[in-house]
């Protein structure tokens, strides 16, 4: 395969504060993501990982640095749809049914008949056939996030950006959705950047786990996950899984401590 699907070069995000020093959210992030790779970013709260995802998607402007997708610099100016974004929650349009929500990204880009066929395919893929005409409020939290995922997949993006998609779910549903995501990912082979607080979630899902420092966020370290696919729930008790979880946790703990400087959490 040629170059990386996504490449970040020295990406920095600052917010001008009006006074002399701008507020730096993350600094000099350089990262390459290969075709079909699943990369997770973990880090302490407020380290700028969600902001990074928004900057990559063009929802926020960069302060400096460049973003390339398939070697093409993203300027935010063109309307080409190459990224699918899965939001944290409550982002489904409440006046649209599941099917119509999933269709959003295809409207005006594909003819209606073809669009609906594709949308139904992805709703089926995320396990929601039969729920096409339900409104978001008629769906459980887990089902809503399935729609959210289908909505991002339906445009056949080059890269899928997922912003803590399971954060609002209860623990059982969350575990179940992680396994579902493994299944769906194995069928679509999308390139994914996945933001999460949960280390075990990152390891279970990813090929590579990136640990962010406290703010201003930098890449502190990265780990290749040494676990074969397809994976299932049993992998969570594998000693390599537990060792990696432990190492990553220690690093995040250090970052949290460094950012608090002695004050209690």
Partner 1 sequence: MKGILKLISIFGGGVLWHILATRVINDSALLVSPLVVIDKGYEMLFVTADLYPHIYASSSIFFLGIILATLVGVPLGFLMALSPVVRDCLNPWMTALYSTPRIAFAPVLLLWFGIDLATKVAIVFLGCVFPILINSFYGMRVVSREFVEVGRSFRLSRSRLFLKILLPASVPFILSGLRLAVGRGLTGVAIAEWFGATEGLGYMIFFAGQTLNIPVLFVGVAVFALLGILGFQVLKMIEEFASPWRKELEVK
Partnered with residue 6 across adjacent β-strands are 33, 69
166/128 Cα distance (integer angstroms): 17
Q: Which of residues 134-153 bind partner 1 (CB under 8 A)?
A: 135-138
Interaction of residue 43 with partner 1, rule CB under 8 A: no
Cβ 106 vs Cβ 155: under 8 Å: yes
Q: Of residues 17, 19, 20, 79, which one binds partner 1 by CB under 8 A?
A: 79
Which is nearest to 72 in space by CA: 6, 153, 140? 6
Cβ 25 vs Cβ 48: under 8 Å: yes
Binding-site size for partner 1 (CB under 8 A) equals 23
Interaction of residue 28 with partner 1, rule CB under 8 A: no
Residue 195 phi/psi, 5-degree rounding, is -100, 135
Q: Which of residues 173-192 bind partner 1 (CB under 8 A)?
A: none
Q: Nearer Cβ to partner 1, position 39 or 147?
A: 147
226/119 Cα distance (integer angstroms): 35
Q: Nearer Cβ to partner 1, position 33 or 83?
A: 83
Q: Nearer Cβ to partner 1, position 18 or 108?
A: 108
Percentages helix, strand, coil for the chain (3-state, rounded to 5) are: 40, 25, 40
Q: Nearer Cβ to partner 1, position 105 or 142?
A: 105
106/123 Cα distance (integer angstroms): 14
Interaction of residue 111 with partner 1, rule CB under 8 A: no
What is the nearest approach in angstroms of partner 1 to the Cβ of residue 33?
18
Interaction of residue 15 with partner 1, rule CB under 8 A: no
What is the nearest approach in angstroms of partner 1 to the Cβ of residue 200?
27
Interaction of residue 131 with partner 1, rule CB under 8 A: no
Interaction of residue 168 with partner 1, rule CB under 8 A: no
- Torsion sign, CA atoms 43, 44, 47, 50: positive
How far, in Å, are 16, 58, 192, 229 from residue 80 at the CA level? 29, 12, 18, 33
What is the nearest approach in angstroms of partner 1 to the Cβ of residue 111?
16
Q: Of residues 15, 45, 64, 81, which one binds partner 1 by CB under 8 A?
A: 81
Which is nearest to 233 in space by CA: 187, 175, 192, 169? 175
Q: Of residues 73, 80, 114, 253, which one binds partner 1 by CB under 8 A?
A: 80
Contacts to partner 1 by CB under 8 A = 57-59, 79-81, 83, 85, 87, 90-91, 93-95, 104-105, 107-108, 135-138, 155
């Amino acid at each position: 395969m040629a170059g990386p699907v996504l490449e970040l070069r020295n990406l920095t995000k600052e917010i001008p504060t009006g006074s002399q020093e701008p507020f730096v959210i993350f600094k000099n992030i350089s990262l390459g993501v290969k075709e079909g790779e699943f990369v997770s970013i973990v880090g302490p709260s407020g380290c700028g990982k969600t902001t990074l995802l928004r900057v990559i998607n063009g929802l926020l402007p960069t302060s400096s640095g460049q973003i390339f997708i398939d070697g093409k610099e993203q300027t935010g100016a063109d309307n080409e749809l190459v990224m699918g974004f899965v939001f944290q929650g409550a982002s489904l349009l409440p006046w649209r049914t599941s099917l119509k929500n999933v269709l959003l990204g295809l409207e005006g880009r594909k003819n209606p008949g073809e669009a609906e066929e594709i949308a139904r395919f992805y709703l089926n893929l995320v396990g929601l056939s039969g729920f096409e005409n339900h409104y978001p409020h008629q769906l459980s939290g887990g089902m809503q996030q399935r729609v959210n995922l289908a909505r991002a997949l339906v445009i056949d993006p080059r890269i899928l950006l997922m912003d803590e998609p399971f954060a609002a779910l209860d623990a059982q549903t969350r575990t179940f959705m992680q396994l579902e995501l493994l299944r769906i990912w194995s069928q679509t082979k999308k390139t994914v950047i996945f933001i999460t607080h949960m280390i075990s979630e990152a390891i279970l899902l990813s090929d590579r786990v990136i640990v962010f420092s406290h703010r201003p966020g930098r890449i502190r370290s990265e780990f290749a996950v040494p676990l074969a696919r397809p994976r299932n729930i049993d992998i969570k008790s594998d000693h390599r899984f537990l060792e990696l979880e432990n190492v990553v946790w220690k690093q995040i703990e250090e970052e949290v401590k460094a950012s608090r400087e002695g004050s209690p959490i």
